[in-house]
Amino acid sequence: MKNDHWTACWRALGVVTLILGLSACKGSLEFVGDPDAPPFSDGLRPQIQALMSDLMVSAAVVVVRSPQGDWSAAFGQRARGGIDPLRVDDHFRVGSVTKTWTGTVILQLVHERRIGLDDPVSLHLSGVPDGDRITIRHLLSMRSGLFNYSTDLAFNQSLDERPERVFTVQELLDIGFAHPPYFAPGADYTYSNTNTLLLGQIIESKTGMPLADAFHSRLFAPIGLSRTLYPPMNNTNLPAPFARGYQYGTNVETMLSEALSPERQAAARNGSLQPTDTTLHSTSWGGAAGMGISTAPEMATFVKAMISGGLLDTQLQAQRLASCQPIVPGSPDSASYCLGLAKFGTYYGHTGEIPGYNTFMGYDPTTDTTLVVMASMAAAPDGRAPANTIAMRVMQRLAE
């Protein structure tokens, strides 16, 4: 979530999983799931276990809903080295998946004519650099040019030194505004959490309610999500039951690249470098861009509703799905970013990375297939995102 590393991860996943998917399992990971699972899952179980071992991740959940059958499985334990097995409906932090919640509510406000996609931000918020030229559309599509506050060095040092610190939204925006923009509004693409924090402020301004209440009344309650929440900024707890999250390395050394140095990767492999338990670290710095909590089954319900329709009117829904632009122009293999969501191949959704947790959430409307993967680590020591890596292997299996 701190930077745009997920794009590079996605481009590399095809090669990585083709290699690792055939490897033997290097460790023992307890499997908890449906014994009557569909045939496509048979070969996946040992491959997912092998991937988890290679990625050094201790827990993962996979949920598939498809015409080939539904499959839900939990691998590993709730705590690293523990004996309490993970369950499919355990809570995880979903990181940047939260952006899809923010983006969907913004588009609802567009439908209600409270805001316009091409409104300048200055019409709704004051104090935003270049706010007369940056539009709501630019914020949603990551094309504002605003600096991503979460890649600031002093900010990352603060996360390492005071992981319990509670940030205000304005403190985070001030960090982003203190840096020059990457480019003129609309001129290019750069993933920036600053964009989504501003969208969250607009939601609160236009609805007159806290962001948590807007998400609940407009998204969660209408589709029956009872275990999904946007927690208070000063609350670091997860609802029980939950998976504990872990991070190799510091925030500073993973600020621009999730991969540790070769020496640190070797130390992780031989056990001399142990991961940090980040479960109860403050996620206030994520705000509307990454502070959400949910379960894999509930995110499977959400992503299908978000993509297949029901949360937006038909015209705006079609406009949202048609808005996707490749992150690497001219590259058919690159992911695309749309109005508050992403597209990976034929799947629309988003990934989520926050220290200790990684989520892949996608729905393919052509095949009516939903896939959600959650893992208890944002990145392996070599920089691979565990949930994304597992998700690609599941996609390959479903396509066979």
Helix (H, G, I), strand (E, B) or coil at 293: strand
> 10 Å Cβ neighbour count for 368?
12
pLDDT in tens, 103-162: 999 999 999 999 999 999 999 999 999 999 999 999 999 999 999 999 999 999 999 999
Angle between helices 44-55 and 5-20 (to 10 degrees): 120
Rounded mean pLDDT of the chain?
A: 92
Residue 32 lies in a domain: no
Residue 1 pLDDT exceeds 90: no
Residue 12: per-residue pLDDT = 41
Mean pLDDT confidence for 302-310: 96
**267: enclosing H helix or E strand:** helix 262-270
CA distance 97 to 66: 21
Q: Residue type for 336, please?
A: S
Residue 212 lies in a domain: yes
In a domain, 15, yes or no: no
Residue 30 has pLDDT above 50, yes or no: no
What confidence tier does 15 reach under pLDDT thresholds 50, 70, 90? very low
**CB 202, CB 14: distance < 8 Å:** no
CATH number of the domain residue 371 falls in: 3.40.710.10
185 exposure class (CB count in 10 Å sphere: 0-12, 13-18, 19+)? buried
Task: Give mean pLDDT, residues 80-93.
Answer: 97
Question: For residue 9, what pLDDT is reported?
Answer: 47
Residue 59 lies in a domain: no
Spatial contact of 169 and 121, defined as CB atoms under 8 Å apart = no
In sign, the C-alpha dihedral spanning 353, 354, 357, 361 is: negative
Model confidence pLDDT, tens digit, residues 204-216: 999 999 999 999 9
Pairing outcome for strands 92-95 and 276-277: unpaired
Residue bearing the bigger pLDDT, 169 or 14: 169
In this model, does residue 390 exceed pLDDT 80? yes
**Which percentage of the chain shows pLDDT scores above 70?**
91
Residue, of 31 and 319, whose pLDDT is higher: 319
Q: Is residue 13 part of a domain?
A: no
pLDDT at 22 over 50: no
Q: Which of 18-27, 105-114, 168-177, 253-262 has the lowest mean pLDDT?
A: 18-27
Closest C-alpha among 55, 1, 7 to residue 27: 55
Confidence of residue 330 (pLDDT cuts 50, 70, 90): confident
DSSP type of residue 184: S
- For residue 33, being part of any structural domain is answered with no
**What pLDDT was estimated at residue 35?**
61
Cite the beta strand spans of the chain per DSSP E.
31-33, 59-66, 69-76, 92-95, 246-247, 276-277, 292-294, 325-326, 336-337, 342-344, 347-354, 357-364, 369-375
Hey, is 320 helix, strand or coil?
helix
Give the number of other CB atoms < 10 A from CB of residue 162.
11
pLDDT at 98: 98
The answer to whether residue 317 is domain-embedded is yes
**CB of 351 within 8 A of CB of 359?**
yes
- Position 398 in a domain: no
SS3 assignment, position 192: coil
Q: What is the model's pLDDT at position 114?
A: 98
CA 16 – CA 59 distance, rounded (Å): 20
Which structural domain range is residue 107 located in? 89-381
**Is 199 within 8 Å of 107 (Cβ atoms)?**
no
Peptide bond into 241 cis (omega under 30): yes
Any idea what DSSP says for residue 354? Answer: E
User: Domain tally for the chain?
Assistant: 1
Q: Is the pLDDT of residue 28 over 90?
A: no
Contact between 122 and 218 under an 8 Å Cβ cutoff? The reply is no
